[in-house]
Amino acid sequence: MDIINFVFLNLMIIPHYVKGVCDWPTEFQNTTWKDSSKGDIEFTTNTLTGWSITISAVLPHQHFDTWFCHSTDLYTEQNILVLITQSTFQPYGNTVYGYICVELLEITQSSYRYYLRNPISAGVNYERIQMSTSNTENNWDTLCLFDESYASFRPETSEYRVLIDKNQVSNAKIDCPYVFLGTYRYNHSASNGIDSCDISTSTFTMCNDVTDITFDYNVCPTQVAYSKSDTVWCVDTVMNNGNNYVTLYNGNDEETDIDDSSIYRFSCISVSSDLTVSSVSPGSCKNGQTPDKYSNNGTSDIGAILSLVQTVTCPHVDVPNGGTVTYSTNGAVTIVTYSCNEDYSLAGPEVRTCRSNNTWTDEDPTCSMILL
Ligand SMILES: *[C@@H]1O[C@H](CO)[C@@H](O)[C@H](O)[C@H]1NC(C)=O
Ligand SMILES: *[C@@H]1O[C@H](CO)[C@@H](O)[C@H](O)[C@H]1NC(C)=O
Ligand SMILES: *[C@@H]1O[C@H](CO)[C@@H](O)[C@H](O)[C@H]1NC(C)=O
Ligand SMILES: *[C@@H]1O[C@H](CO)[C@@H](O)[C@H](O)[C@H]1NC(C)=O
């Protein structure tokens, strides 16, 4: 189905330049960010620049990189900002404005996760964008896909993007997901057909520092996470269908090294729940990305697949006799929850939180048999 026909209200609109009708929430005004798909982006009081789109439906392709604040009506309750393109464009002959509904979630004091609540548009390079001939759209049910009949057009849980405050990138580090922490052997199959790295000798580890993944590039020099540096940081993670999707940040390479073809600031690794296979893609986690197949950018397979063998698990808590533990993370905070088997009772904390220095709050609890 052609998404372009989604919203057409006013067919006789005369193209003109609109001015932003709202100001950004103050926390975004006059700030610059690293975006996991778009590079550096900058907010003024009511504009956003750097968040570029390409209108691939027209030849020659048109490019836009400036957006206005269209509405903050949904921000207080739902953390959604509605943006409109600075000017019109003409995919398939119609003159339209582009809209995006950006749903934000704070991860750390210097980072956000966001989703684009708009359908994928093949005519805009498979970007999630809504189009309308009107520049005064306010039907959020349609524009931001709240209406249940548009549910299948919404982004997947794993299709998230990340913003990091450019002035404090290192504060965006989080602990890599606990289930994934360990040392691994791996091999690497790139989507261009090139296989490299021997699974019996190539390794990466997260045990030196639980916020980092460090590759042994002496053994296999293939740049796995699109970085020249052997170390990348975990900056966000979500779970979808039992698989972990981890956004990695290449914080060690110089700005001049980032060419967005072999070296990127961000990459996404999707790891299977049994920790045996993962896919890596440049930039943000992709629509349809799963651990066991190549990601696709709309037109081609991209990225690589790594087969994994976990050889070491790193700092987990002791499992109490007669009990079990469950790890969970919302990205910024990892907790462990204890429970005791039937006929055992828990003495000590039920929940412990991982601190930034990689130690757990409180002491180990115990499970003791209930004597009747
Ligand atoms: C952002 O900059 C503009 C222009 O200098 C200024 O009017 C506005 O108050 C600033 N916003 C914040 C939150 O500092
Ligand atoms: C997808 O990736 C291929 C190969 O890197 C590239 O040529 C193409 O322009 C990309 N397509 C989109 C929609 O980004
Ligand atoms: C990678 O390792 C897996 C598991 O041992 C193996 O099945 C696969 O063939 C290997 N791939 C390459 C490209 O060597
Ligand atoms: C970790 O941080 C906590 C709280 O700040 C502190 O009490 C504890 O001693 C620290 N542990 C280590 C090993 O640094």
Task: Give the DSSP per-residue string, 343-371.
Answer: TEEEES-SEEEB-TTS-BSS---EEEEPP
List residues bridging with 100 in a β-sheet: 83
Ligand 1 centroid from CA 43, angstroms: 10
284 and 37 in contact (C-beta within 8 Å)?
Answer: yes
Ligand 4 centroid from CA 357, angstroms: 6
Q: 154 in a domain, yes or no?
A: yes
- pLDDT for 17 beyond 80: no
Give the percent of the chain with pLDDT over 90.
Answer: 77
Q: Which two tokens stand for residue 182?
A: 């360990």
Prediction pTM value: 0.83
Q: 117 in a domain, yes or no?
A: yes
Are 279 and 338 found together in one domain? no
Q: 209 in a domain, yes or no?
A: yes
Q: Among 174-183, 275-284, 354-363, name the one with the lowest average pLDDT.
A: 354-363
- Nearest Cα residue to atom 6 of ligand 3: 307
Q: How far apart are CA 264 and CA 112, in angstroms?
A: 19
Total domain count, the chain: 3
Are 164 and 177 found together in one domain? no
SS3 annotation, 92-107? HHCCEEEEEEEEEEEE
- Nearest Cα residue to atom 9 of ligand 2: 299
Identify the nearest ligand to the CA of 61 by its number: 2
**What is the pairing mode between strands 97-108 and 130-132?**
antiparallel
The CATH number for 341's domain is: 2.10.70.10
- Nearest Cα residue to atom 4 of ligand 3: 307
Judged on CB neighbours under 10 Å (0-12, 13-18, 19+), 200 is exposed
Q: 167 φ, ψ to 5°?
A: -90, -5
Q: Does the CB atom of residue 30 touch ligand 1 within 6 A?
A: yes
- Residues ≥6 apart with Cβ < 8 Å to 108: 171, 172, 173, 174, 332
Are 21 and 161 found together in one domain? yes
pLDDT, residue 105, reads 96
pLDDT, residue 294, reads 96
Which residue range(s) make up the domain with 119? 3-169
Q: 192 in a domain, yes or no?
A: yes
Q: Which two tokens stand for residue 79?
A: 């953390």
Each residue of 269-282: pLDDT tens digit?
Answer: 999 989 999 999 99
Residue ending a domain, choose from 144, 169, 194:
169
Ligand 3 centroid from CA 188, angstroms: 8
Q: Does the CB atom of residue 126 touch ligand 2 within 6 A?
A: yes
Are 301 and 327 found together in one domain? no
Are 200 and 299 found together in one domain? yes
Q: Does the CB atom of residue 362 touch ligand 4 within 6 A?
A: no
Q: 304 in a domain, yes or no?
A: yes
**Atom of ligand 2 minimally distant from the CA of 125:** 13
Q: Which residue has the higher pLDDT, 51 or 330?
A: 51
Are 201 and 151 found together in one domain? no
- Nearest Cα residue to atom 8 of ligand 3: 307
Are 123 and 179 found together in one domain? no
Q: 318 in a domain, yes or no?
A: no
Are 241 and 129 found together in one domain? no
Using 50, 70 and 90 to split pLDDT, how confident is the model at 356? low
- Residues ≥6 apart with Cβ < 8 Å to 79: 103, 104, 105
Are 184 and 160 found together in one domain? no
Are 160 and 211 found together in one domain? no
pLDDT, residue 16, reads 42
Q: 11 in a domain, yes or no?
A: yes
- Nearest Cα residue to atom 13 of ligand 1: 26
Are 229 and 148 found together in one domain? no
